[in-house]
Amino acid sequence: MTTLAAPPTTLSNEEILRYSRHLIMPEVGMEGQLKLKNASVLLVGAGGLGAPLGLYLAAAGIGRIGMVDFDVVDFTNLQRQVIHGTKDVGRKKLDSAFDKMADINPNVKLEKHEVALTSENALDIIRNYDFVVDGTDNFPTRYLINDACVLLKKPNVYGSIFRFEGQCTVFAYPGGPCYRCLYPEPPPPGLVPSCAEGGVLGILPGIIGLMQATETVKLILGTGEPLVGRLVLYDALAMRFRELKLRRNTECPVCGDHPTLHELIDYQEFCGVPHQEPVQPTANLGEIEPTEVKQKIDRGDKFILLDVREPHEFQICRIPTSTLIPLGDLPKRLNELDKNAEIVAHCKSGVRSGKATNLLRENGFKNVRNMKGGILAWSDKVDPSVPKY
């Protein structure tokens, strides 16, 4: 038979010294520090937002921190994910993050959830924590976290970032609004670029992540004015904070007066993300391998190698014989291309050039192919001196 351990009612001498600058403030004090020690927080995502959150929440003395992530550290993460170092590239993000957090504060109990949060596991994972912090990077997971938090009545500290701009608020606080009250529906896939496509100022997740950390600590302490019913917008370029009012929608399907949603749904479908189709083994007729493009160049074949990336990407690297027309400009600049010419379109990874290929075909271009895998694949398969970004 097991008995539940009583919550700690004292701090060790080591902890008293460690938290000294908290303890001497009446707003925290011994009572507040014990609240932090008895609290549990689930961080979803060990990336841009999760990095500062993990570091500071561990340092602050939260008793138990769970982290959900199944990714591996790569070089492009290091510009902003300060919880990971260069030596951690290739390691699991959870291993790397927890090494750092355990070093900062060995008193924190750390719990790994090395999974993708899904409709099947979300309730079971979230149920075990007092607060949830959303540091994810995609709409399906954000709606999933929201609905699970509303159903389980767990406050959800929300932050999101894009380029130079961030948003922060607290959802699912008793009586307050939820994510669906702010945005009833997600944008269709492809309309809003991700960080990978759109880029992000490395410092930005530090600012927004620490706003989330601040709100989390305030919620635990029960002090100050929580960021409930208010959406803070931050614009790093203008260095301006703005605050907008956010209301609970009485007709919200999950947190409204007469909710219609009582269990988790299929969030990929809700967000219009197509389920992963098995990869077709037969080559797509509209695609061409980078190695074949190289052979064409070496043979001196006459064709247009069309780069549809942005000018600032063209400055990073390019294939020498390519012609640059960014995808967004292509509809206006079709007249610069010969409809009967052979065209091979490429971009960074093949998505934008796929759109360009379709656009050209729809406009009567007869011989257009998409270079498979973009300039990243070119670097892997043809010329490693071309940098990847």
Compose the 300-329 pattern: x for residues touching another protein by CB under 8 A, - for all others.
----------------------------x-
Main-chain dihedrals φ then ψ at residue 200, nearest 5 degrees: -155, 135
In the block, residue with structure tokens 């670029």: 193
> Applying CB under 8 A, does 45 fall inside the site for another protein?
yes
Burial-class residue 286 by CB neighbours within 10 Å (0-12, 13-18, 19+).
Answer: middle
Single out the catalytic residue among 168, 181, 195, 271: 195
Q: CB-wise, 232 or 343, nearer to another protein?
A: 232
Catalytic site includes residue 195? yes
> Applying CB under 8 A, does 289 fall inside the site for another protein?
no
In the block, residue with structure tokens 């924590």: 129
> Applying CB under 8 A, does 137 fall inside the site for another protein?
yes
> Applying CB under 8 A, does 202 fall inside the site for another protein?
no
Site for another protein in 174-193 (CB under 8 A): 182-187, 191-193
Least spacing, CB of residue 385 vs another protein, in Å? 27
Give the binding range for another protein (CB under 8 A) out of 6-14, 123-131, 161-169, 377-385.
161-169
- Give CA 286 to chain center in angstroms: 32
Q: Which one among 25, 115, 196, 283 touches another protein, defined by CB under 8 A?
A: 196
Catalytic site includes residue 271? no
Q: Which one among 244, 283, 333, 340 touches another protein, defined by CB under 8 A?
A: 244
Q: CB-wise, 162 or 314, nearer to another protein?
A: 162
Token pair belonging to 372: 């498979």
> Applying CB under 8 A, does 77 fall inside the site for another protein?
yes
Long-range pairs for 374-379: beta carbons < 8 A, 24 or more residues apart: 374/346, 374/347, 374/348, 374/349, 374/350, 375/307, 375/309, 375/317, 375/318, 375/319, 375/346, 375/347, 375/348, 376/348, 376/349, 377/290, 377/349, 377/350, 378/290, 378/293, 378/319, 378/346, 379/317
> Applying CB under 8 A, does 90 fall inside the site for another protein?
no
C-beta neighbour count of 144 within 10 angstroms: 26
Looking at the annotation, which residues are catalytic? 195, 347
